[in-house]
């Protein structure tokens, strides 16, 4: 068998090492160990407050929305991209204990020859929908408008990005300074359906889509939609076996529904967790870029042990069973079962789990922190149910930062 395809082979990076190296000289902010950069409140000069500015987007998931629309004629495929873009910001900020009010600005770059104005209207409507969903959960978002640019010479299809700004009390920030050995890791399941969601979620967020698109979808898309991939990776483009309307194995969803499942926000759950046991929290990790290895960048002298993971949802289980994928790569690229991770005192774990379950989302202790004599290390053991005709059984992996 040939060597497994790595995420980088298709022109993307799971852990963004080059980006991290590029920003080494940047000021780390008020709390260098926090999940998000925290800035002094230069707007009002208040020594008790801080500012946070966060930018993210739907990534290459937007290409899937384009393909779904071209294949089905359903413009609503674009609507969820707004939630994808917004939640990738909101949930990162929730990891430092900030829950608004937020100020949103969105940026849409499109190839106007391919993406019609009606698609833009769907995206803008999606921002309103997501803001209303969060408002109903006590999280306020005000829109400051944004920019839509026709960039056909630069953008092959569509880019949907957002920037979110918040102001908070510095004393309320989850700074990461409490990270130490002897804590537990509580994972919040990425599948299922939260009480505030209208449909079941496949468990995907908005990262890893350069892998997902090409691993699931067949060369039909390569042959009929050359605008939907970079020509530099033509040999690795759309190597899967599915059309978007095909059933996803082990699921009630189609492949298109699973891949376009809107990025779940955990902010309502985390808001309740912080209000109840905030003093017992050390950190919250949003397992997007870097997947299950995200934790490695936080704290010092720690070994993160994850030995009680959730069983992968169907979309992850399918990927895990494919011979062309390295399981080690999967866990450092995708969340593989839980996208949010709360690091807390053992005495708070039951409360965190109960709060999550009250919102309809399963949660469990998935691991712990131990002392390490060197750089941070992650020891990860797969769920015992990871089996299949091409799977040799659960494996254990050890990771450090490259």
Structural domain contains residue 2: no
In a domain, 260, yes or no: yes
CATH number at residue 175: 3.90.650.10
* Contact predicate 254/314, CB 8 Å: no
In a domain, 291, yes or no: yes
Q: 13 is in which domain, residue-wise?
A: 7-400
Looking at residue 1, its pLDDT comes to 41
Task: Report how far residue 151's alpha carbon sits from residue 157's, in angstroms, rounded to the nearest whole number.
Answer: 9
State the Cα torsion 64-314-222-73 to the nearest 10°. Answer: -40
At residue 111, the pLDDT reads 97
Query: Measured between alpha carbons, how far is 115 from 109 in angstroms, rounded to an integer?
Result: 10
3-state SS string for 322-365: CCCCCHHHHHHHCCCCEEEEEEECHHHHHHHHHHHHHCCCCEEE
And the tokens for 188?
Answer: 């919040």
Q: Which two tokens stand for residue 75?
A: 């413009």
| pLDDT at position 389 | 60
The DSSP annotation for 46-77 comes to -TTEEEEEEEEE-TTHHHHHHHHHHHH--GGG
Q: How many domains does the chain have?
A: 1
For residue 10, the model assigns a pLDDT of 59
| pTM more than 0.85 | yes
Domain membership flag for residue 158: yes
- Best CA proximity match to 304, nearest among 386, 372, 395, 374: 372
Q: In this structure, is residue 192 part of a structural domain?
A: yes
Q: State residue 20's pLDDT score.
A: 46
Alpha carbons 89 and 94: distance in angstroms, whole number: 9
Q: Which two tokens stand for residue 175?
A: 């700074």
For residues 175 and 29, give the distance between their C-alpha atoms in angstroms, rounded to a whole number: 11
Distance from CA of residue 52 to its chain's centroid?
Answer: 19
pLDDT for the residue numbered 385: 82
- Rounded Cα distance between 59 and 53, Å, is 19
Long-range contacts made by residues 16-24, C-beta under 8 angstroms, separation at least 24?
A: 16/289, 16/290, 17/402, 20/297
Does residue 1 form part of some domain? no
Is 347 domain-assigned? yes
pLDDT tens per residue across all 402 residues of the chain? 455 666 577 556 555 555 546 556 677 899 999 999 999 999 999 999 999 999 999 999 999 999 999 999 999 999 999 999 999 999 999 999 999 999 999 999 999 999 999 999 999 999 999 999 999 999 999 999 999 999 999 999 999 999 999 999 999 999 999 999 999 999 999 999 999 999 999 999 999 999 999 999 999 999 999 999 999 999 999 999 999 999 999 999 999 999 999 999 999 999 999 999 999 999 999 999 999 999 999 999 999 999 999 999 999 999 999 887 889 999 999 999 999 999 999 999 999 999 999 999 999 999 999 999 899 999 999 998 887 666 777 899 999 987
- Tell me what pLDDT residue 325 has: 81
């Amino acid at each position: 068998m040939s060597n497994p395809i790595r995420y980088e082979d298709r022109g993307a990076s799971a852990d963004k090492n080059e980006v991290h190296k590029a920003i080494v000289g940047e000021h780390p902010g008020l709390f260098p160990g926090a999940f998000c950069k925290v800035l002094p409140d230069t707007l009002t000069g208040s020594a008790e407050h801080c500012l946070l500015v966060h930018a993210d987007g739907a990534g290459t998931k937007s290409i899937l929305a384009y393909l779904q629309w071209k294949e089905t004629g359903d413009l609503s495929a674009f609507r969820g991209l707004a939630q994808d873009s917004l939640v990738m910001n909101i949930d990162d900020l929730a990891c430092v204990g900030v829950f608004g009010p937020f100020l949103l600005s969105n940026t849409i770059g499109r190839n106007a020859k391919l993406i019609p104005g009606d698609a833009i209207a769907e995206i803008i409507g999606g921002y309103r929908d997501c803001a209303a969903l969060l408002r109903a959960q006590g999280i306020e978002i005000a829109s400051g408008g944004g920019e839509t640019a026709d960039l056909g010479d630069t953008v092959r299809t569509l880019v949907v990005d957002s920037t979110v700004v918040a102001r908070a009390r510095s004393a309320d920030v989850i700074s990461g300074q409490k990270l130490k050995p002897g804590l537990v890791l509580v994972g919040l399941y990425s599948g299922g359906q939260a009480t505030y969601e209208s449909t079941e979620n496949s468990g995907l967020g908005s990262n890893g889509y350069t892998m997902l698109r090409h691993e699931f979808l067949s060369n039909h898309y390569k042959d009929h939609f050359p605008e939907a991939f970079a020509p530099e990776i033509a040999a690795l483009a759309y190597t899967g076996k599915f059309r978007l309307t095909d059933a996803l194995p082990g699921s009630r969803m189609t492949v298109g529904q699973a891949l376009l499942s809107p990025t779940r926000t955990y902010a309502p759950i985390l808001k309740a967790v912080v209000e109840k046991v905030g003093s017992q929290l050390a950190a919250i990790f949003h397992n997007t870029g870097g997947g299950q290895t995200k934790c490695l960048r936080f704290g010092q002298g720690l070994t993160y042990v994850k030995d009680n993971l959730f069983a992968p949802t169907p979309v992850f289980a399918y990927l895990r069973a494919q011979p062309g994928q390295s399981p080690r790569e999967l866990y450092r690229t995708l969340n593989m079962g839980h996208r949010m991770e709360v690091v807390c005192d053992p005495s708070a774990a039951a409360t965190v789990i109960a709060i999550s379950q009250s919102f309809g989302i399963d949660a469990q202790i998935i691991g712990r922190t131990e002392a390490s004599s060197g750089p941070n290390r992650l020891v990860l053991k797969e769920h015992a149910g990871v089996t299949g005709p091409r799977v040799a059984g659960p494996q254990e992996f050890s990771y450090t930062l490259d």
